[in-house]
Structure 1
Amino acid sequence: MKVYETNEIKNIALLGSKGSGKTTLAEAMLYECGVIKRRGSIEAKNTVSDYFPVEKEYGYSVFSTIFYAEFLNKKLNVIDCPGSDDFVGNAITALNVTDTGVILIDAQYGVEVGTQNIFRTTAQLKKPVIFAMNQLDGEKADYDNVIEQMTEIFGPKVTPIQYPLSVGPGFNAMIDVLLMKKYSWGPDGGVPTIEEIPAEEMEKAQELHQKLVEAAAENDETLMEKFFDQGHLSEDEMREGIRKGLVDRSIYPVFCVSALKDMGVRRMMEFLGNVVPFVEDMPAPVDTEGDEVKPDSKGPLSLFMFKTTVEPHIGEVSYFKVMSGTLTPGVDLNNVDRGSKERIAQIFCVCGQFKTPVDKLCAGDIGATVKLKDARTGNTLDEKGCEYRFDFIKYPAPKYQRAIRPVTESDAEKLSEILTRMHEEDPTWQVEQSKELKQTILSGQGEFHLRTLKWRVENNDKLPIIFEEPKIPYRETITKAARADYRHKKQSGGAGQFGEVHLIIEPYTEGMPAPDTYRFGNQEYKMNVRDTQEIPLEWGGKLIIHNCIVGGAIDARFIPAIVKGLMDRMEQGPLTGSYARDVRVCIYDGKMHPVDSNEISFRLAGRNAFSEAFRNANPKILEPVYDVDVMVPADVMGDVMSDLQGRRAIIMGMSSENGFEKIQARVPLKEMSSYSTALSSITGGRSSFTMKFSSYELVPGDVQEKLLKAYAESNSEE
């Protein structure tokens, strides 16, 4: 295989909603470039992209697939990304290591929520965008309506390069207003017939051509002057203007294709080869020090590891982008993230599951290697003397959680190893060993996301697992002051145990004055603060402890033991065993025994006195509440609102955004357990949502009663 220099390489992400036809388009692109001799299909389970067992089982993409195409003496590295929102992490990764996004639009359904989400990501990353309107041969295809919708949502930068002469099952011809030619195909697609534009289409074609010329000229002063002088631009000048417009995101070209029939695919690839930016045309990435790292093949060698998979018959495969320098096999590199050394024994160009060994990869290129010892996704590997480090991929917060455990408890360690490996393959799968909930919590982007992991664990690793509803991390607190005392006394021959603690607790708020006097019934308790401990709690809030003991009723050496007893109950609240927070304690009296008093006695006395006072302080349970933003089509907004209100949501606001309605709400985490599934069901998969922790709020009285009853029952069973 030819060695391609940096100025001959283009990196492209293939994006779009689920069902828009990316995998089918990838097959057509590979066929047009001669990489494959026959196009596979999803139904036949023989496509280059969806080659993992889970993808063949479910019939949709789960992982991004990397392939390359040699076309017009250029190397196109393409990353075909899953369309489902559940696997959005793959698309985010791909956009961070490529330079242009090709977004497929289904001509039958137009701009979907997933399309908008991915477009928003391209805007955040400032990546050029090309639209490909696919499935123009579909029964419900409506080119004009979809173009109108795209212009409304993405703005006037949407610029058709082509338009079809007819749509639906009879689609077989289009007008290209960049080249000003008519393209038509036979029933089997493939190589087009190229002709002059028919007279009846000339006026429309010239109008669109003029708009395209203006859009191209806008991005270059020299071209603009020439356009004003001559009224037209040459084909090469238009290509240059469009390239600059792509880099500036001032033009979004629209192509027409039928990926299934291989119509329009070669023409779109010609545009990718001739017009879209090269690696070196794009702004240079920035390392963690804030310095630009230009893709210089003569610079110091640095690789960014952006993807890891475990593949059949190969084992672990590590995918990388050459950020700087030139990579050859056998080189030793430093892992700047993990402080280890790696030898890159072999390097490959990748086409799905097929790996082609190569002798060299230049800056900007994408490749793979195998059997690295210590490299992980997101690591940077540098040659000696190079100190680049990259950390530019930011993933969305998870939206769906399940507790996970093996059917056989002895397999817990094996499951932990599998989950660690899977997080490497998809960083949006997150695993937490929750000490608080006493569960292993698996988080992801949706139910399908986690169901896919379960299928792989059970079918690939042969380990049966159980998904359960995760417990909710409630908090306990108090709403008024209360007093209690407790004497711990135990005599069983020899030295006994004795400790007595008197204390007052009250709700703590930031900035409250030091305690002075409390009144309970007819008795007044005056506090004389000798010492204060402020303990910030890992789970939020604080525990404030005032030592108000006078006259040596409790020796100072026993105070730490009492504090431990208080923390025992803060870590396992008296109501439901949840963490407690925001409590102030005044230890004001007690008793000791000259022989029997010891640390354990005062720890137990402090713990039990706190528990009694807590129950008398009008205790309340707090629940985590999340800010939730839901993007929905207008026609299902009422149904979505009703569902949210049934989940105890408080609607904070509503607005319209690019043809969709946005609902902002605050929803208890308890009610969000199955929300991704419910929302998909209500809206036919046309909606999306994000959620972010907001605060802890008091649970309603009826909910608290249920929680207390459930906790009492579980304790009695134990």
Structure 2
Amino acid sequence: MRVYQTNEIKNIALLGSAGSGKTTLAESMIYGSGIIKRRGTVEAKNTVSDYFPVEHEYGYSVFPTVFHVEWNNKKLNIIDCPGSDDFIGGAITALNVTDQAVILINGQYGPEVGTQNNFRYTEKLHKPVIFLINQLDSDKCDFDNVMVNMNAIYGSKCVQIQYPVSTGAGFNAIVDVLLMKMYTWGPEGGMPTIVDIPAEEMDKAMELHKLLVEAAAENDETLMEKFFEEGALSEDELREGIRKGLVTRSIFPVFCVCAGKDMGVRRLMEFLGNVVPFVSEMPKLHNTRGEEIVADTNGPESVYFFKTGLEPHIGEVSYFKVMSGKIKSGDDLTNADRGSKERIGQIFACAGANRIPVDELVAGDIGCTVKLKDVKTGNTLNGKDCEWRFDFIKYPNPKFSRAIKAVNTAETEKLMSALLRMHQEDPTWLVEQSKELRQTIVRGQGEFHLRTLKWRLENNEKLAIKFEPTRIPYRETITKMSRAEYRHKKQSGGAGQFGEVHLIVEPYAEGMPDPTSYKINGQEFKINIKGREEINLEWGGKLVFINSVVGGAIDARFMPAILKGIMERMEHGPLTGSYARDVRVIVYDGKMHPVDSNELSFMLAARNAFSAAFKEAGPKILEPIYDLEVYVPSDYMGDVMSDLQGRRALIMGMDSEAGYQKLQAKIPLKELSNYSISLSSLTGGRASFTTKFASYELVPNDLQQKLIEEHAAEAEEEE
């Protein structure tokens, strides 16, 4: 294929809810452009897009698929994204490296929760949007009602370019109010017959044409003036107005298609090639230094790798976008993230599982290569005298987590290696070996997301694994002052061990003044500060350690050992073994032996004294609280609120947003462990949610006692 220049390239993300028909549309586009000779189907498991075994197993897209079509001397790079909210990472990746979103809507159901989620991301990333109504041949399709719902959600920005003459089994014609023509198809679809609009449709077509002209004219002062003077715009002027409206998100064109019967697909590609913005017309990206990067073919060579695929018999397939300059096979580049040198082998234009060798790709283009030595998702490769890095893709926080382990412990290392590879494929699969929880945690966007991970490990990697509930990272603290002392003494022939530590503990809050004295049980303890350390704990909160020992009762050289003993107990709290935080410790007295005292003795004495004082200082367990936002259709609001109240959630507010209710709450992490499953069940999969860590708060007394008892029972079992 020929080398396309930057002003001939358009990059498009294909989005939509599960079942909206993206994979089928992609197949029709690839077929229509001549890349394949026969259209596959999702049912036959032979489409260009969904070609991974797990996608055949579930009948869903799991990974974004990159392909291209050549149409009217333009190259359209298209990324077909998974529809399930569990795989939203693919859509976010695609939106960040493309310049235009096409959102498919199932004509049977209208805008769904997936539509809303995708639209919110286009809004956040300021990407143009075209809506495409699909499945017009379904008996359940009510096109007019779909448009009523879309106008209610997206307002007057939704402007029809087309409408179907009729829907259902007899669907075979679309009126195009941009071209003012009618497109008709035979039973097999494919190439349309283009005819004049019949008289019975002319009034409706003229009314929609007028609305389109008004919407297009609003985006350009010259066009607006001409519209006011003449009341009409030419076809080219209409296209120019729509293009400008797309860039500013002031117009969302609506098209019609029946992807399954290959009707309307060629007209869509014609519009994408002629009207949607080129790479050069979109806002510029910035590198990590905040510098604006122009997609300039004559600029320095810089290539950003946004996706990695693992394919049988091939290994890693690395997908990239040329940010600047041009890339050719054999180029020697430097990895800006890893510092390593990399030689580019053969480069390809993408076509799903197929790859078409090309000689060169220029700024703004998308392609792939194989067998790179040391390139990971998110890396940037640069040519000589260029040191750019890019980090513009931000993924949502995980919503679902489970502890994972290999059934055969001898395969633990193999499991970790596989998990790290799979994170490269889908960065929203997160893996953490938690020292605190003593578990390997995998996190994802939902239960189905992690179930897919499990399927791939068991079927592709031949690893038997099991999921377990994730432990909750509780915190321990104290609510009042307490004093304790402990003597560690051990004699077993030869040198003994001796150390005695007296200390006071109290809750610490930021900005507290240093203590001068304490009165405990009628006895006053004056504090004479000899040393003070403020330790910012890795897990949050602080430990303030004060040395107030006078008269040489404990030698200063033992203070680090005393602090170490206290820190050991902070890392493994006295109540449940959770991290402790926000404590001030004052060591005010003790005893030592001229021969038997050593660091170990004082470390053990301090650890035990701290534990005893902590338990007498009104100890409390803190639990992580998360901010929760739930997007839910109005008719399910009551059920969702009742469920949240049963999960100890505190409702903070409710708003209407784009046809959905947005419910805000604060909820304990413990209650979120299976929330994605419950919410899906309550709403038939029509709701979604996001979470973000907020704070640590006290757990109720009854739950605290239960947690302490559970920890004691676990400790007994381990012994």
TM-score range, shorter-chain basis?
over 0.9
Correspondence 1:100-499 to 2 at 5 A: 100-499=100-499
Letter in 2 for 1:231: G
Quote how far apart the aligned CAs of 1:221 are: 2.1
1:588 aligns to what?
A: 588
Shift of 1:119: 0.9
Partner of 1:618: 618
Q: Give, as a single letter, the amino acid of the residue that structure 2 aligns with 1:259.
A: A
Q: Detail structure 1 runs of 4+ shifted over 4 Å in the superposition.
A: none
| CA–CA separation in structure 2 for the residues paired with 1:433 and 1:158 | 47
Equivalence for 1:34? 34
Give the residue type in structure 2 aligned to 1:69. Answer: V
Structure 2: gaps of 5 or more residues: none
User: Distance between the aligned counterparts of 2:538 and 2:653, measured in 1?
Assistant: 32
Deviation at 1:513, TM superposition (A): 2.1
In the TM superposition, residue 292 of structure 1 has moved relative to its aligned partner by 2.0
Shift of 1:449: 0.9
**Cα distance in 2 for residues equivalent to 1:652 and 1:289:** 38
**Structure 1 residue 653 corresponds to structure 2 residue 653:** yes
How far apart, in 2, do the equivalents of 1:248 and 1:601 lie? 70
- What is the one-letter code of the residue matched to 2:125? L
- After superposition, give the CA deviation of every residue in 1:424-476 in whole Å (9 maximum; x if it has no partner): 11111111111111111111111111111111111111111111111110001
Equivalent AA in structure 1 for residue 529 of structure 2? V
Distance 2:273 2:581 in 1: 61
Matched AA of 1:665: A
1:529 positional shift: 2.1
Q: CA deviation at 1:162?
A: 0.6
Equivalent residue letter for 1:19: G
How far did residue 618 of structure 1 move?
Answer: 1.4
Secondary structure of 1:695's aligned partner: strand
2:630 alignment partner AA: V
Residues in 1 aligned to 2:531 and 2:313: alpha-carbon distance in whole angstroms: 66
Distance 1:615 1:164 in 2: 73
**CA distances 1:152-201 after superposition (whole Å, capped 9, x unpaired):** 21121100001111122222212110111112222222222222111121
- In 1, distance between residues paired with 2:53 and 2:688? 27
Range that drifts further, 617-626 or 115-124 = 115-124
Paired with 1:544 and 1:230, the residues of 2 have a C-alpha distance of 78
1:81 aligns with 2:89: no
Within 2, Cα distance between the matches of 1:618 and 1:108?
Answer: 60
Which residue identity does 1:233 align to in structure 2? Answer: L
Q: How many residues align?
A: 718
Question: 1:588, 1:363 → 2: CA distance?
Answer: 68
In 2, Cα distance between equivalents of 1:615 and 1:293: 59
1:211-237 C-alpha deviation (Å, 9 max, x unpaired): 111111222222222222222121112
SS of the equivalent of 1:510 reads coil
Letter in 1 for 2:481: A
Spell out, residue by residue over 1:648-670, the C-alpha distance to the aligned partner (whole angstroms, 9 max, x if none): 11111111111111111110001
Superposition pairs of residues 681-696 of structure 1, within 5 angstroms:
681-696=681-696
- 2:700 corresponding residue in structure 1: 700
**Percentage identity across paired residues of the two chains:** 71
Equivalents in 2 of 1:165, 1:69: separation in Å? 29
Q: What are the superposed Cα offsets for residues 690-714 of structure 1, whole Å, 9 maximum, x if unpaired? A: 0000101111111111111111111
Q: Secondary structure at the match of 1:216?
A: helix
Give the counterpart letter for 2:649 in structure 1: A
Q: Give the partner amino acid of 2:356.
A: T
Q: Secondary structure at the match of 1:575?
A: coil
Which residue does the alignment assign to 1:57? 57
Deviation, structure 1 residue 629: 0.4
Q: Which amino acid aligns with 1:644?
A: L
Give 1:68 deviation, angstroms: 0.8
Structure 2: how far apart are the matches of 1:619 and 1:532?
A: 24
Partner of 1:668: 668
Distance in 2, Cα, partners of 1:440 & 1:458: 17
For normalisation by structure 2, the TM-score amounts to 0.98
Matches within 5 A, 1:539-578: 539-578=539-578
| Residue deviations 1:41-89 (CA, integer Å, cap 9, x gap) | 1111111100001100111000000111111111111100001111111
Could you say what secondary structure the match of 2:375 adopts? coil
Task: Output the CA distance in 1 between the equivalents of 2:487 and 2:632.
Answer: 60
- Kindly indicate whether residue 711 of structure 2 is the aligned counterpart of residue 711 of structure 1: yes
Cα deviation for residue 676 of structure 1 reads 0.7
Alpha-carbon distance in structure 2 between the residues aligned to 1:298 and 1:485 = 74
CA shift in 2, pair 1:388/1:522, >3 Å: closer
* SS in structure 1 of the partner of residue 293 of structure 2: coil
SS of corresponding position for 2:259: coil
Deviation per residue, 1:286-333 (Å, 9 max, x gap): 222222222121222111111111112211110011111121111100
- What letter matches 1:277 in structure 2? P
2: CA distance, partners of 1:303 / 1:111: 36
Distance 1:231 1:663 in 2: 45
Query: Which string of whole-angstrom CA distances, capped at 9 and with x for unpartnered residues, describes residues 373-417 of structure 1?
Result: 111111111111122222111111111111111112122211111
- 1:628 match: 628
C-alpha RMSD over aligned residues: 1.1
Deviation of residue 553 (structure 1)? 1.0
Residue 527 of structure 1: how far off its partner (Å): 2.1
Measured after TM superposition, the shift of residue 279 of structure 1 is 1.5
Whole-angstrom distance in 2 between the partners of 1:387 and 1:505: 52
Hey, what's the Cα distance between the residues in 2 that align with 1:287 and 1:602?
Answer: 53
Partner Cα separation in structure 2 for residue 310 and residue 344 of structure 1: 18
SS in 2 for 1:209: helix
Partner of 2:522 in structure 1?
522
1:508 is aligned to 508
- Residues 332-381 of structure 1: CA deviation (Å, up to 9, x unaligned): 00111111111011101111111111111111111110010111111111
Range with bigger deviation, 262-271 or 78-87: 262-271
Letter in 1 for 2:482: A
- Whichever residue aligns with residue 316 of structure 1, its letter is E
Give the structure-1-normalised TM-score.
Answer: 0.99
Whole-Å separation in 1 of the counterparts to 2:592 and 2:477: 30
For the residues of structure 2 that align with 1:135 and 1:584, how far apart are their CA atoms? 66
Aligned partners of 1:304 and 1:520: how far apart in 2?
64
Distance apart, 1:506 and its partner CA: 0.9
Equivalent position SS for 1:603: helix
For 2:550 and 2:269, the matched residues in 1 are separated by 85
How far is the alpha carbon of 1:283 from its aligned partner?
Answer: 2.0
Q: Secondary structure at the match of 2:31?
A: helix
How much does 1:6 deviate? 1.3
Q: Report the Cα distance in structure 2 between the residues aligned to 1:466 and 1:264, rounded to whole angstroms.
A: 47
Alpha-carbon separation, structure 2, partners of 1:511 and 1:284: 45
SS across alignment from 1:427:
coil
State yes or no: 1:43 paired with 2:43: yes
Q: Provide the secondary structure at the position in 2 that maps to 1:269.
A: helix
Alignment partners' CA distance in 2, 1:569 and 1:236: 74
- 1:128 and 1:430 map into 2 onto residues whose CA distance is 30
